[in-house]
Structure 1
């Protein structure tokens, strides 16, 4: 296949995956091929969902995943404190191992020649041909504004950072790994070995442990000087749109979001825990930004199963009640939950 979409999921994000797949079908085209990469082995619901869709496949091959997991493990072994810190926190091997599986899209024998990756907590809002078209000119394409906050990509206090990348690069080349487009064959094995050698020579010091895969992917792209294009920086200011759920000014027109009259490419529910989506789909009336948009796409083909809320909505970020705070202070909150 020439062009396609990848995402990464397991049963924990099942509801979000269904919403994403439905948004792709409606807004990007029902013939766009999608490959769901298994985050881990908990994919029983995901398998059933994929089997019900004609243009969606699932990738769950441990042999394919292993080389990227091992590469990332070697990356973090080169870091001065990461592995030890995570082990002390009870994390096996390293933090968010499963997220590395998506990088098999770069392998020369991967499914799509050109691909777009979307996190499962996104919704596609329009046709995506223009992104594939840009890949005719650049090897890596993004559309976000993460460059305005590089602190979630690199450890900005590391003295190594500005010895490797210029301030100009840091201010312009940063991106969020929830959405990106690229090509198979990028970052071949010999290049990854070279990257490891550079990291072992001290460059791993500025990787950001809080988002390990995002940090490493940014490092790989910047260090190899892979050609790069960000629609968020290159479109005129009156044409560029936001993408994050934290932007409260988007306008909803028939289940499509617009930013100052321009149709969004995608909406990223960044920062919202999957627990919130799961609780809402179970019938709990928790309100969060653009909830109706999510529910529309989640239940697009099964409106009869959409939750019918009968209680007063509770904000997703509402502070805990006084009773809960007291129980927590007394160390009794866990017991209280068990007792219910």
Structure 2
């Protein structure tokens, strides 16, 4: 039985990737092999980092990559509302398509694995997660179920009831940035059946804002594989993981009311912020010193010792970007009304 970790990455998230690899080595409790799934071909820095480390590999099963790219393409190209929505927002025809490559782990070398988005830091041992896979096929540890359901599924209540036949769908959704599962948990027959159902119209329940997250939730819940969320089923012993929460910092590890986090997720913070920080710019990132500790754990001499304030032009660009991001967030908050207008 081979346990492992997958990370989706490219050179754009290089600094975050290094921090995550270092945090994994420091905090996992044992040596766990890591395989990096390529987001695209921009991999020069990633390949150099892999070559400098033991027990880290690059996912090179290009048949699997092509399969999951095609799988997601068939779904979203045959989903007219998604296509119309993305065009209306000025997004690409296949929005965030490479994010679906997370599913390549199902075809990879590890029998049991945990998937990490590159914008995470591992804070504690994960053996308890692998052990839970003895009883369940998909395991998560997050509080997505406390958010609005429309950020995962936004079909009508009638559609969702018909597809999932569940009176408590809200309690079952999860974040796709961190999960654990097993190799080949979706057989070729199950994959084909799910694809047929989606193309036939069941895709209408899925949200267009986070396509990979919506699809993974659909696949898990529609296939009815055994599923477990520590944050829902064992909330007394679970912790937060989102950067917006208030955690205690002790020796570069984070604690939530005395309980050590398993991971910290920097979800929605632009990767350019981390790149600029590591270049010595004074960028405000939550738990900045913790991130820098892990980023430069193996090269402390390269860690910036002082940070320069950004020029007025850079600050203006950031203000403009923040304004744009706020506009996107407003779109999300008003998504249901927007959807109603474009489908009339």
Question: CA 1:199–1:21 in 2, change beyond 3 Å: closer, same or farther?
Answer: same
Q: Residues 224-239 of structure 1 correspond to what in structure 2 (within 5 A)? A: 224-237=223-236, 239=237
Q: Residues 161-180 of structure 1 correspond to what in structure 2 (within 5 A)? A: 161-166=160-165, 168-180=167-179
Q: Equivalents in 2 of 1:138, 1:146: separation in Å? A: 19
Question: CA 1:200–1:260 in 2, change beyond 3 Å: closer, same or farther?
Answer: same
Q: Equivalents in 2 of 1:23, 1:6: separation in Å? A: 14
> Which position in structure 2 is the counterpart of 1:275?
272
Q: Equivalents in 2 of 1:288, 1:181: separation in Å? A: 27
> Which position in structure 2 is the counterpart of 1:140?
138
> Which position in structure 1 is the counterpart of 2:216?
217
SS of the residue corresponding to residue 8 of structure 1 reads strand
> Which position in structure 1 is the counterpart of 2:240?
242
SS of the residue corresponding to residue 252 of structure 1 reads strand
Q: Equivalents in 1 of 2:129, 2:187: separation in Å? A: 23
Q: Equivalents in 2 of 1:254, 1:295: separation in Å? A: 13
> Which position in structure 1 is the counterpart of 2:185?
186
Pick the structure with more helix per residue: 2
Question: CA 1:93–1:66 in 2, change beyond 3 Å: closer, same or farther?
Answer: farther
Q: Equivalents in 2 of 1:83, 1:323: separation in Å? A: 29
Q: Residues 242-321 of structure 1 correspond to what in structure 2 (within 5 A)? A: 242-247=240-245, 249-311=246-308
Contact 1:158 1:206 in 2 (8 A): no
Question: CA 1:285–1:324 in 2, change beyond 3 Å: closer, same or farther?
Answer: closer
- Structure 1 runs (4+) greater than 6 angstroms displaced: 322-325
Contact 1:158 1:205 in 2 (8 A): no
State the Cα RMSD in Å. 2.4
SS of the residue corresponding to residue 113 of structure 2 reads strand
> Which position in structure 2 is the counterpart of 1:123?
121
> Which position in structure 2 is the counterpart of 1:155?
154
> Which position in structure 2 is the counterpart of 1:106?
106
- TM-score with structure 2 length normalisation? 0.86
> Which position in structure 2 is the counterpart of 1:39?
39
Contact 1:287 1:313 in 2 (8 A): no
**Once the 2 structures are TM-superposed, how far is the Cα of residue 75 of structure 1 from its aligned partner?**
1.1
**Once the 2 structures are TM-superposed, how far is the Cα of residue 193 of structure 1 from its aligned partner?**
1.5
What do residues 215-261 of structure 1 show as CA deviations (whole Å, max 9, x unaligned)?
Answer: 00000000000100111012242x210011011x2000000100000
Q: Equivalents in 2 of 1:192, 1:144: separation in Å? A: 25
Contact 1:73 1:93 in 2 (8 A): no
Q: Equivalents in 2 of 1:312, 1:259: separation in Å? A: 32
SS of the residue corresponding to residue 4 of structure 2 reads strand
Question: CA 1:256–1:44 in 2, change beyond 3 Å: closer, same or farther?
Answer: same
Contact 1:160 1:202 in 2 (8 A): no
**Once the 2 structures are TM-superposed, how far is the Cα of residue 323 of structure 1 from its aligned partner?**
12
> Which position in structure 1 is the counterpart of 2:327?
none
Contact 1:5 1:116 in 2 (8 A): yes
Q: When the two structures are aligned, how many residues end up with a matched partner?
A: 317
**Once the 2 structures are TM-superposed, how far is the Cα of residue 195 of structure 1 from its aligned partner?**
1.0
Question: CA 1:87–1:126 in 2, change beyond 3 Å: closer, same or farther?
Answer: same
Contact 2:281 2:309 in 1 (8 A): no
